[in-house]
Amino acid sequence: MAVQITSDLQENISQFEELFSDCADIKKRKVKVGQKLEKECYIAYIEVAVSSTEWKDSAVGKILQTLRELPEEKLVAYVEQNVEDISDSQPFATIEDAAQGMLTGDVLFFLEGYDRALKIPDKGYPGRGVYETESEKVIRGSNEGFSESIKLNTALIRKRLRSPHVKVKESFTGKRTHTNVDLVYMKDLIYPGMLEEVEKRLGEFEIDGALDSGIIEQLTEKRTYSPFPQFQTTQRPDRAAMAILEGRIVLLSDNSPVALILPATYNTFIQTSDDYYSRWEIASFTRMLRYLASFLAMTFPGLYLAMTNFHTQILPTDLLLSLAAARQGVPFPAVVEIILMEVAFELLREAGVRLPGANGNTIGIVGGLIIGQAAVDANIVSPIVVIVVALTALCSFAVPNEEFATAFRILKFLFILLCGYLGFFGFLVGTLGILIHLSHMESFGIPYLAPFVGADLNGYQDERDTFLRLPLEFLKKRPIYTKEGTRTRLKFRQQGKGK
């Protein structure tokens, strides 16, 4: 049961200190205020979350200085009428709410005779500033990346979208962590019911703690067992801003530099920020490469097995003889050979991620070269298998979204087994199964394969931004995520320009 704050300061202090007993990092101070210094106030804060031990230049220090200059009988009236506006503070009526306010990294202020506690903003918890993003590298465009501070992340989006229509809706998740979660969206663009659906899913679970946006992502997605993500992730503020301009919603979680974008489709995972900063020819070329890479990252080893084990007649004779000569002395079947090298490469990749700094790059490059060459020299695998595995890895690296690429890395082993034992029939079965699965998937009401399906719902406008990214003058309509009537995003003042 919540404990109400009263006008009795000593009782409030007693209740508060009982709640935070054995907490050495919580600093508490009693300060005399009033012209005769006959009244007391009580200040509590987390040790490293305030700017310094000197209060004179902080909001708290200025309030205390003002209270020392006032008669004792006017202190409570002054606090009630002025302090909230002066310091942008927030009053709390219960000890529990006040404690949660302090745990956001601000200062808690109690005054004798005042039946509220005030949360006075200060610098908050320590955290990183704005750094270059470590993923989603681009050739052209901003290099700013999200940090672990949700307030800084919303500011980075505001910096790019200077419109009053951009709304930030705050909520909390985690019974014990009380993690801030912000939904950022353009009010006049989002589809009716989209925001309500997101809030409904956020309210469907109760968990002890949500320490990263990845936990929220897993708890709110509908198809839990699908390898394909139903949220798009990004660490780039410009990518998040671009999504908001398309009528989508960005979910930010405190303590996480990764934002979630919804809804998401296959096509959005292939797109990158600099697709729209570069000329359409190179953007279209690289996008087609990514689509091809996403397909080969999943099927290339399986296709190799199907051709060499079952359908050798489709290969030129010289190539077939060369492959046969390369496999002379290899003791394992081709399926085992491929699986061994794929597992070895996945181990190298995982080791490279876990090792710090330059050591990770070293193990990835040197380890791959040494193990590959040693395996060939020892006749454990054939040289062509090393080439197939290396090209498959390059294809997975070319997929711009790491979570999306992970789906193809997992499904790759399914195709190896199907094609290794059924040939092209296994390839067709696997491909058909994946297409059926993707056709049944949706993300917050949007088909996962849009705009390849349902393109007519937006007048086939979305098809101009798929395999090919047509010139910007052709992309005058927002995607289908935007509500009807607000899909025009580009107009030309000169008549006749644009298509």
Q: Report the C-alpha gap between 457 and 461 in whole angstroms.
A: 9
- The pair phi, psi for residue 184, each rounded to 5°, is -110, 130
Query: Structural domain tally of the chain?
Result: 3
Task: Choose one of 120, 140, 174: the last residue of a domain.
Answer: 120
Q: Residue range 447-466: average pLDDT?
A: 90
pLDDT, tens digit, 9 for 90 and up, residues 66-122 = 888 899 888 998 888 876 665 567 889 999 999 988 888 888 999 999 999 998 887
Are both 111 and 236 inside the same structural domain?
Answer: no
Beta strand 166-173 with 39-46 is: unpaired
Are both 161 and 210 inside the same structural domain?
Answer: yes
490 lies in a domain?
no
pLDDT over 70, % of the chain = 93
Bridge-partner residues for 426, per DSSP? none
458 lies in a domain?
no
pLDDT, tens digit, 9 for 90 and up, residues 407-417 = 999 999 999 99
Band (pLDDT 50/70/90 cuts) for residue 257 is: very high
Are both 13 and 99 inside the same structural domain?
Answer: yes
Q: Report the C-alpha gap between 228 and 406 in whole angstroms.
A: 8
pLDDT above 80 for 457:
yes
Are both 114 and 165 inside the same structural domain?
Answer: no
Higher per-residue confidence, 110 vs 59: 110
What is the residue range of 42's domain? 9-120
CA dihedral (108, 255, 139, 280) in degrees, to 10, reads -90
Say if CB 258 and CB 241 are below 8 A apart.
Answer: no
Angle between helices 280-309 and 383-398 (to 10 degrees): 150
Give the dihedral sign, CA 392/397/398/403: positive
Are both 166 and 228 inside the same structural domain?
Answer: yes
pLDDT, tens digit, 9 for 90 and up, residues 137-173 = 888 888 889 998 898 999 999 999 999 999 999 999 9
247 lies in a domain?
yes
Written as six digits, the tokens of 218 are 């897993």
Residue 55 has what pLDDT?
60
Are both 257 and 172 inside the same structural domain?
Answer: yes
485 lies in a domain?
no
Are both 115 and 195 inside the same structural domain?
Answer: no
285 lies in a domain?
no
Written as six digits, the tokens of 486 are 């607000």
pLDDT above 90 for 238:
yes
Q: Residue range 443-463: average pLDDT?
A: 90
Q: Report the C-alpha gap between 28 and 20 in whole angstroms.
A: 10
pLDDT, tens digit, 9 for 90 and up, residues 367-394 = 776 777 788 878 888 888 888 998 999 9
Are both 216 and 309 inside the same structural domain?
Answer: no
Residue 170 has what pLDDT?
92
pLDDT above 90 for 246:
yes
Q: Is the preceding peptide bond at 301 cis, omega within 30 degrees of 0?
A: no
Place of tokens 């509220």: 116
Are both 259 and 328 inside the same structural domain?
Answer: no
127 lies in a domain?
no
Task: Choose one of 120, 137, 169: the last residue of a domain.
Answer: 120
Residue closest to 271 by CA, chosen among 465, 443, 428: 465
Are both 96 and 175 inside the same structural domain?
Answer: no
Q: Report the C-alpha gap between 335 and 170 in whole angstroms.
A: 52
Distances (CA, A) of 334 to 91, 310, 415, 486: 70, 12, 14, 55
87 lies in a domain?
yes
Say if CB 6 and CB 23 are below 8 A apart.
Answer: no
Q: Report the C-alpha gap between 246 and 242 in whole angstroms.
A: 7
Are both 76 and 191 inside the same structural domain?
Answer: no
347 lies in a domain?
yes
Residues 6+ away with beta carbon under 8 Å from 8: none
Are both 438 and 315 inside the same structural domain?
Answer: yes
pLDDT above 70 for 449:
yes
Written as six digits, the tokens of 304 are 């190799």
